[in-house]
Amino acid sequence: MPPQANCALPHGFQLDQYRIERQLSLGGFSIVYLAFDQDGLPVAIKEYLPNSLALRKDGEVEPRVPDENMPAFRYGMKCFFEEGRSLAKLMHPNVVRVLNFFRANNTVYMVMQFERGRTLHDYIQKHKGEVKERFIRAIFTRMLNGLREVHAHKLLHLDIKPSNIYLRNDGTPVLLDFGAARQTLALEQPMLKPMYTPGFASPEQFANREALGPWSDIYSVGASMYACIVGTAPPRSDERVKQDTLQPIARQQASRYSPQLLELVDWCLRLDPLARPQSVYTLQKALMQKEAGEAMPASWFTDLGSRLKSFIGKR
Shared domain for 124 and 92, answered yes or no, is: no
Q: 186 pLDDT exceeds 70?
A: no
CATH number, residue 92? 3.30.200.20
Shared domain for 193 and 66, answered yes or no, is: no
**Diameter of the chain by CA atoms?**
61
Shared domain for 84 and 214, answered yes or no, is: no
**1: in domain:** no
% of the chain beyond a pLDDT of 70: 85
The pLDDT score that the predictor gives to residue 2 is 47
Query: What does the alpha-carbon distance between residue 125 and residue 129 come to, in Å, rounded to a whole number?
Result: 9
Shared domain for 130 and 236, answered yes or no, is: yes
The pLDDT score that the predictor gives to residue 251 is 87
The pLDDT score that the predictor gives to residue 265 is 96
The answer to whether 158 and 183 are in contact (CB under 8 A) is yes
Report the candidate in 132, 91, 130 with the shortest Cα–Cα distance to residue 113. Answer: 91
Q: 304 pLDDT exceeds 70?
A: no
**8: in domain:** no
CATH number, residue 285? 1.10.510.10
**142: in domain:** yes
3-state helix, strand, coil in the chain (%, to 5): 40, 20, 40
Overall number of domains in the chain: 2
- Structure letter (DSSP) for residue 255: T
Shared domain for 78 and 141, answered yes or no, is: no
Shared domain for 272 and 253, answered yes or no, is: yes
Q: What mean pLDDT do residues 284-303 have? A: 64
Q: How many residues does the chain have?
A: 315
Which of 69-78, 231-240, 302-311 is predicted with the least confidence, judged by mean pLDDT?
302-311
Q: 14 pLDDT exceeds 80?
A: yes
Which of 10-19, 22-31, 300-309 is predicted with the least confidence, judged by mean pLDDT?
300-309
Q: What mean pLDDT do residues 168-175 have? A: 91
pLDDT tens digits for range 128-147? 888 999 999 999 999 999 99
Report the candidate in 184, 194, 214, 40 with the shortest Cα–Cα distance to residue 114. Answer: 40
Q: What mean pLDDT do residues 273-284 have? A: 95
**11: in domain:** no
Among candidate residues 67, 82, 113, the one where a domain is terminated: 113
**10: in domain:** no
pLDDT bin (cut points 50, 70, 90) of residue 197 is confident
- Structure letter (DSSP) for residue 12: T
Shared domain for 136 and 92, answered yes or no, is: no
Query: What does the alpha-carbon distance between residue 267 and residue 247 come to, in Å, rounded to a whole number?
Result: 13
Q: 148 pLDDT exceeds 60?
A: yes
Q: What mean pLDDT do residues 26-47 have? A: 92
Mean pLDDT over all residues of the chain? 86
Shared domain for 176 and 291, answered yes or no, is: yes
Q: What mean pLDDT do residues 69-80 have? A: 88
Residue 50 CA neighbour count, 13 Å, CB half: 27
The answer to whether 112 and 83 are in contact (CB under 8 A) is no
Residue 303 one-letter amino acid: D
Shared domain for 145 and 294, answered yes or no, is: yes
Shared domain for 281 and 141, answered yes or no, is: yes
**7: in domain:** no
Shared domain for 70 and 143, answered yes or no, is: no
Q: What mean pLDDT do residues 270-285 have? A: 95
Shared domain for 172 and 50, answered yes or no, is: no
**Ranges of H-type helices in the chain:** 70-87, 120-126, 133-152, 180-188, 203-207, 214-230, 237-242, 249-252, 259-268, 280-287, 298-302, 304-313
* Residues 6 or more apart whose Cβ sits within 8 Å of residue 107: 47, 48, 49, 54, 62, 63, 77
Which structural domain, as residue segments, surrounds residue 76?
16-113
Query: What does the alpha-carbon distance between residue 172 and residue 166 come to, in Å, rounded to a whole number?
Result: 8
Q: 270 pLDDT exceeds 60?
A: yes
Q: What is the CA radius of gyration of the chain?
A: 20
Among candidate residues 96, 113, 130, the one where a domain is terminated: 113
Q: 272 pLDDT exceeds 90?
A: yes
Among candidate residues 82, 113, 144, the one where a domain is terminated: 113
